[in-house]
Chains A and B, each alone.
Chain A
């Protein structure tokens, strides 16, 4: 922080600006809190109602514990959308682009600040969910006696499910940011992303052809991305855990690339 301002790279200045905006926006803080609370609460409720009367009951304990991510992701999407969507709504985007005329730097700074915030909130949400499951799960049957050791991040697949869930939340938030930069409307972007996440899998469920169903689950960002939570029978999944998260990453990257193109091409 001792360098003279004229030597500071544009991205560093843009980051300082976006971080200041983020931390002085009460809505963003509320959404982050919402993300954590929703994820933990839904996870705990799911765990509390999960029973495993006998050994080999087929409950995927880490996945069950992380069910709240399904709901928490909505907060992550809205957070990503509002990171830029607020500014389109108020016209402040013009002030932002006058302050930082390098538009790619603006988008990159927004993405980095959003990523940092969602990584922290996502880690808290996932840790809280696992902790809740560790306390609640043994009471419902998935006990060590039934072949379920207490949930622990020392277990490889559990760690993968946990870390993957944090990354999942990050990627859907970035998908939201990309979508709003491309559409320049919070409502349109939220609708498009939630549609993509929830409607595509619903479509897969009603497709008769099993091959098509499998392909849809491979390319739809939510089922593919959430494959990273599976710890049982991973060979029978339509797509592998990391490959699935990679599919979601491609969606997010495509949305950001489209957003960047629109941001450069259009008048502000």
Chain B
């Protein structure tokens, strides 16, 4: 079954606000709308983050990613729509860090407090034992600097501290806004491994980025947003497939005969060089079969693999055009 249809279907069957409709960790956002002055920041944002996989939340700056996350955390009130964590509004949760761990802004701390004391007050707010603070400090690789003032930290270290805070409550869901900002390659690998481990343990993981490249080898599922709404809610593999458009490059000594043979098979074919032909609309296997049947010699048949970045740019460009000339 197409996962997108399945999700829409479920959200209709379980009207928002009914506790227990979603398994723990599920983040369900339904029809969020919010305006800041004349600008619609959220324009019907709807998606579901499911346990057991890493969901990438990607879109250009200003697409509504951070606003959506603030609404999920109950920090911003939407004009319309609901956001539920495990079937309940965040603001109704007791000890919310045990339901959802979030990193919004790594700089949002008082610079004079040590890293350990920052985590300590957060732990106290959830009734979490101080020993857990030392455990998440170790998990974030911050034991050495636990006694240093957070204000002296680099952006990368603050990101680690923010992620340590998100892990405090050992929650079934994690929500991280641009966690890769300011990280060195080692930090980058660390977050990837951490998120993969969390997803493998059945947790829901939502990670935002404005750069698809950061999510390319991280996310299993992607929610692409633009102008406050979801443009695509799909798997990484499916997004790549739609973006490559079945473009196949063929190297042959007889381009003219190849063009005739393939055009007869229903493809859009164009000669792109003295011995290269580009084919749209046919699978490589079918191309090989057609060429063999027509007796056309060929040296190489290669399917073009679009990068996720290309797919993403294509999607967001379409969305901007649609909105620009659309019904508004």
CA distance A50 to B163 in the complex (A): 60
Contact: B108 with A91, CB < 8 Å? Answer: yes
Cβ distance B246 to chain A, nearest Cβ, rounded Å: 45
CA distance A4 to B97 in the complex (A): 16
Asked whether A49 is an interface residue with its Cβ less than 8 Å from the other chain, the reply is: no
Contact: B108 with A94, CB < 8 Å? Answer: yes
Per-residue CB contact flags for chain A residues 45-77 toward chain B (1 = under 8 Å, else 0) read 000000000000000000000000000000000
Given A24-B113, A99-B125, answer yes or no on A268-B76 (Cβ-Cβ < 8 Å): yes
Residues of the B chain whose Cβ atoms lie less than 8 Å from the Cβ of A13: 95, 124-127
Contact-residue bracket for chain A: 20 to 34
CA distance A25 to B149 in the complex (A): 11
Q: Which of B91, B109, B122 contacts A99 (CB 8 A)?
A: B122
Contact: B122 with A17, CB < 8 Å? Answer: yes
Interface set, chain A 87-126, CB cutoff 8 A to B: 87, 90-92, 94-102
Contact: A5 with B96, CB < 8 Å? Answer: no
Asked whether A209 is an interface residue with its Cβ less than 8 Å from the other chain, the reply is: no
Cβ distance A93 to chain B, nearest Cβ, rounded Å: 8
Cβ distance B130 to chain A, nearest Cβ, rounded Å: 10
Asked whether B114 is an interface residue with its Cβ less than 8 Å from the other chain, the reply is: yes
Asked whether A155 is an interface residue with its Cβ less than 8 Å from the other chain, the reply is: no
CA distance A16 to B121 in the complex (A): 8
Residues of the B chain whose Cβ atoms lie less than 8 Å from the Cβ of A211: none
Contact: B104 with A90, CB < 8 Å? Answer: no
Residues of the B chain whose Cβ atoms lie less than 8 Å from the Cβ of A97: 73-75
Residues of B in contact, count (CB < 8 Å): 35
Contact: A98 with B104, CB < 8 Å? Answer: yes
Cβ distance A76 to chain B, nearest Cβ, rounded Å: 20
Contact: A99 with B112, CB < 8 Å? Answer: no
Chain B residue nearest to A9 in the complex (CB): B94
Interface set, chain A 9-43, CB cutoff 8 A to B: 10, 13-14, 16-21, 24-27
Given A92-B108, A94-B104, answer yes or no on A17-B121 (Cβ-Cβ < 8 Å): yes
Q: Which residues of A contact B (CB under 8 A)?
A: 5-6, 8, 10, 13-14, 16-21, 24-27, 86-87, 90-92, 94-102, 267-268
Chain A to chain B: the 9 pairs with minimum beta-carbon distance, closest first: A5-B127, A17-B125, A91-B108, A24-B117, A20-B121, A16-B124, A99-B125, A101-B91, A268-B75
15 new A-B pairs (CB below 8 Å) besides A6-B127, A268-B76? A5-B127, A17-B121, A21-B121, A25-B112, A90-B109, A90-B111, A94-B73, A95-B108, A98-B73, A99-B96, A99-B122, A99-B125, A101-B73, A101-B91, A101-B92
30 A-B pairs whose Cβ atoms sit less than 8 Å apart in the complex: A5-B126, A5-B127, A6-B127, A10-B94, A13-B95, A13-B124, A13-B126, A16-B124, A17-B122, A17-B124, A20-B120, A20-B124, A21-B121, A24-B120, A90-B107, A91-B107, A94-B70, A94-B104, A95-B108, A95-B122, A97-B73, A98-B73, A98-B104, A99-B96, A99-B125, A100-B125, A101-B73, A101-B90, A101-B91, A267-B75
Q: Which residues of B contact A (CB under 8 A)?
A: 70, 73-77, 90-97, 102, 104-105, 107-114, 117, 120-122, 124-128, 165
